Structure 1
Amino acid sequence: MIEGAMMTECPEEFRWLSGYEQLGEIYCVSFVRGLSPEEVLRRFGVDESTLEEVTFAELDERSAESMRDDAAGYIGAAKIGDWTVVVEPGGWQIAVDSEIYTPVSRGTEVVSVCRHDYASDTFAYIVDGEPVVLFDPMLPDERSGSDPDRFVMEMREAGLDPDHDIDVDDAHIDFPMERSFALASRVTGLPFSPEILELRFLGAEPLEN
């Protein structure tokens, strides 16, 4: 019954996400180990003439003003311990675009959580350009990557049952994004908290493809 409770109750430390509207219907939050915010943004591919220090509110506002058809028009990065957190408001690229995650993760590791209300949500763990664990949090049994079972124990702890079959179990996973961040926290050792969004970010406009 413990697993059942975990499937229906929101992880306490991420309950704040349910009422946080600024992140919106599409966003990607990624954690990159061992690189500075400047280096992460450079690898992502930004117009370096647009680099500036911003608050999260300013980051969100600039992204809304410059939103592109298929990606974020403005992104931000901030250093937290050994990691840099990257926020793509309205974006998704670090989680699923190999042209972005390959250079960003070169020689290091990336943990990425992406919400996309008009496509699929994504949890990704990428090492040196290679997806190691990749799945839709609503379908945690359908994992891909070079080592899809790497975080089976951590997934269960976060309430993302790695054996959950939506067709057989006839039940959706509640709070998939909150559980994805709970899993990311177990992998990185960092909680994604409201305090992170109070940091000063280094922001910039991505280069046009």
Structure 2
Amino acid sequence: MPVLEDGLAWLPSSFPQGFSLLFARDVEPRTLLELMGCEEGSFEVMDRDDAEEFQQEDPEERSMLRAGSVGPWAFAVQSWGAHILESDALQNVSAVAETVAMVRTETVPWFAYAKDGQTLCSFDPGLPDLRDGADRDVLLSHMVESGFRVEGRDSGVSPVDAMLGLAERAFGLGLSRELVVDGELLAGVAEATP
């Protein structure tokens, strides 16, 4: 499967303090933000610097998500936060679209694949043998090929690099670095889940 745009390997260097990234197949960016809990009146076009500045104003109460599309996928990206983990976003999005989610914060790395409202495979990239989900081995061959230390095999690839490689290899996912880092995307605000 050909990888879209610039791949994903550039994300850790461009987001050294962390990122959350969710892809949804055949969904419009605005719909993706709505499914992730962004408020109707909060949408505007924003670059990364403005989104991060807004996020810093009240990081405990709200999340600033930016969304765009590449090929058949919409994507939502958040600098250093983990709204995906703190909300029903994965379940809401996967109820209407095939969904791939990745998180790398200072404390939490995480990968999930879901569709039909059900998590098929979810795991901490540092502990790939401890997978959860309705079909926990659905991505196993891709995980091995991407360099995960699975079932005693160790390739020396970092867990985060393996996670990003898995998304590229299994789903052809990738983003334009220039667009995500320097460009403007549709942005929305999601209130923190109590």
The TM tier, using the shorter chain, reads: 0.7 to 0.9
Query: Matches of 1:38 and 1:16 in 2, distance apart?
Result: 25
What is aligned with 1:104?
93
Q: CA deviation at 1:181?
A: 1.0
Q: Higher relative CO (CA 8 A, sep ≥ 6), structure 1 or 2?
A: 2
What is aligned with 1:149?
137
Q: CA deviation at 1:68?
A: 1.5
Query: Matches of 2:74 and 2:8 in 1, distance apart?
Result: 20
Query: Matches of 1:16 and 1:100 in 2, distance apart?
Result: 25
Q: Deviations over 1:102-142 (max 9, x none)?
A: 11111211111101323x31110011221101111111111
2:10 to 16, 22, 37: 16
Report percent identity of matched pairs: 27
1:40 to 28, 32, 43: 32
Structure 2 counterpart of 1:53, which letter?
Answer: V
Query: Matches of 1:196 and 1:158 in 2, distance apart?
Result: 25
* SS of match in other structure, 2:63: coil
Structure 1 counterpart of 2:191, which letter?
Answer: L
8 Å Cα contact 2:63/2:83 also seen in 1 = no
The root-mean-square deviation of aligned C-alpha atoms, in Å, is 2.5
1:186-197 paired onto structure 2 within 5 Å? 186-197=169-180
**Runs of at least 5 residues in structure 2 that lack an aligned partner in the other structure:** 1-6
* SS of match in other structure, 1:161: coil
What is aligned with 2:125?
137
Query: Matches of 1:147 and 1:135 in 2, distance apart?
Result: 12
Query: Matches of 1:149 and 1:155 in 2, distance apart?
Result: 9
Structure 1 residues 64, 81: CA separation in 2 closer, same or farther (over 3 Å shift)?
A: same
Give the structure with the higher percent helix: 1
Question: Runs (4+) of structure 1 moved beyond 6 Å?
Answer: none
What is aligned with 2:51?
59
Query: Matches of 1:14 and 1:207 in 2, distance apart?
Result: 27
Q: CA deviation at 1:27?
A: 2.4
Query: Matches of 1:15 and 1:83 in 2, distance apart?
Result: 18
8 Å Cα contact 2:32/2:75 also seen in 1 = no
Give the structure with the higher percent strand: 2
Query: Matches of 2:125 and 2:159 in 1, distance apart?
Result: 5
Structure with greater Cα Rg: 1
Q: Deviations over 1:131-188 (max 9, x none)?
A: 10111111111111011111111111110132148xxx8xx96422122111111232
Structure 1 residues 50, 181: CA separation in 2 closer, same or farther (over 3 Å shift)?
A: same
**Runs of at least 5 residues in structure 1 that lack an aligned partner in the other structure:** 1-12
Query: How many matched pairs?
Result: 187
Structure 2 counterpart of 1:112, which letter?
Answer: A
8 Å Cα contact 1:78/1:200 also seen in 2 = no
